[in-house]
């Protein structure tokens, strides 16, 4: 089995080519509809999202949809030792570009307690039906999820989704409970294919 690093490289090449393609956008639109119609989304008052970069699942519509119905959106800020915290995102939140090429809230913004995040949308390059995940290789989400008790969802367009993982896992990998695809829900949550 290839290592995560090899699959990460392959996936990154695929998404750099497909970024902003209509093929990707159509898949994203199907997933937005399924997500916002789910109880997981509708019951969440505070939602953790990322400020996605080209080639990632596009979170901008989700930020707008959440704000439009009065939900609080929080986004990650990286800390030393590969930790992260989450801060409220408003149109006024000052953002800085990190050396990793990701925007995050400025240092002065207060962090929100992780217990207050009802739903966390976790990014990644590849997800399996069993809930395996390959992220960008920092281990930030693995560390954050280790003691996170809220609901976890990842959005996987067809190119991000693998019926069977074809990479070797590490002990620190955190499984994703709810993997949302164009054809429904997967992940460790057992209500497979049903509305969640």
Ligand X SMILES: Nc1nc2c(c(=O)[nH]1)N(C=O)[C@@H](CNc1ccc(C(=O)N[C@@H](CCC(=O)O)C(=O)O)cc1)CN2
Ligand Y SMILES: Nc1ncnc2c1ncn2[C@@H]1O[C@H](COP(=O)(O)OP(=O)(O)OP(=O)(O)O)[C@@H](O)[C@H]1O
Question: Using CA atoms, how far apart are residues 142 and 62, in angstroms rounded to an integer?
Answer: 23
Q: What phi, psi does 189 have (nearest 5°)?
A: -60, 130
Of 133, 127, 178, nearest to 157 by C-alpha is 127
As measured in angstroms, the least distance from the Cβ of 145 to ligand Y is 8
As measured in angstroms, the least distance from the Cβ of 136 to ligand Y is 4
Residue 134 interacts with, from ligand X, ligand Y, none (CB under 5-8 Å by kind): ligand Y
Options 127, 140, 185, 186; binder of ligand Y; rule CB under 6 A:
140
Beta partners for residue 185, in sequence order? 180
Q: What is the DSSP string of 2-26?
A: --HHHHHHHHHHHHHHHTT-HHHHH
Question: Using CA atoms, how far apart are residues 148 and 144, in angstroms rounded to an integer?
Answer: 6
Stretch that binds ligand X, among 33-41, 66-74, 133-141, 166-174 (CB under 6 A): 133-141
- Residue 134 is a binding residue for ligand Y (CB under 6 A): yes
Stretch that binds ligand Y, among 29-37, 104-112, 140-148, 149-157 (CB under 6 A): 140-148
Options 48, 55, 105, 123; binder of ligand X; rule CB under 6 A:
123
Q: Which residues contact 173 (CB under 8 A, 6 or more apart)?
A: 132, 133, 142
Residues 75-94 interacting with ligand X (rule: CB under 6 A): 76, 78, 84
Instruction: Supply the DSSP symbol for 113.
Output: P
As measured in angstroms, the least distance from the Cβ of 124 to ligand X is 7
As measured in angstroms, the least distance from the Cβ of 170 to ligand X is 15
Of 62, 22, 31, nearest to 184 by C-alpha is 31
* Residue number closest to ligand X, CB atom: 138
Stretch that binds ligand Y, among 40-48, 139-147, 148-156, 157-165 (CB under 6 A): 139-147
């Amino acid at each position: 089995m290839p290592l995560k690093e090899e699959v990460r490289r392959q996936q990154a090449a695929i998404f750099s080519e497909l970024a902003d393609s209509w093929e990707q956008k159509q898949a994203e639109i199907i997933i937005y509809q399924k997500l916002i119609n789910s109880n997981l989304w509708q019951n969440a008052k505070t939602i953790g999202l990322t400020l996605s970069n080209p080639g990632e699942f596009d979170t901008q519509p989700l930020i707008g949809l959440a704000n439009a119905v009065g939900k609080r959106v929080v986004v990650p800020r990286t800390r030393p030792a590969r930790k992260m915290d989450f801060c409220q995102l408003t149109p006024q939140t000052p953002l800085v570009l990190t050396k990793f090429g990701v925007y995050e809230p400025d240092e002065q913004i207060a962090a929100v307690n992780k217990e207050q995040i009802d739903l966390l949308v976790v990014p990644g390059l590849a997800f399996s039906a069993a809930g395996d995940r390959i992220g960008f290789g920092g281990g930030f989400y693995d560390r954050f999820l280790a003691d996170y008790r809220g609901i976890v969802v990842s959005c996987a367009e067809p190119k991000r989704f693998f019926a069977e993982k074809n990479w070797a896992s590490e002990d620190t990998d955190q499984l994703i409970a709810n993997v949302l695809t164009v054809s429904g829900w997967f992940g460790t949550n057992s209500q497979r294919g049903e509305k969640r």
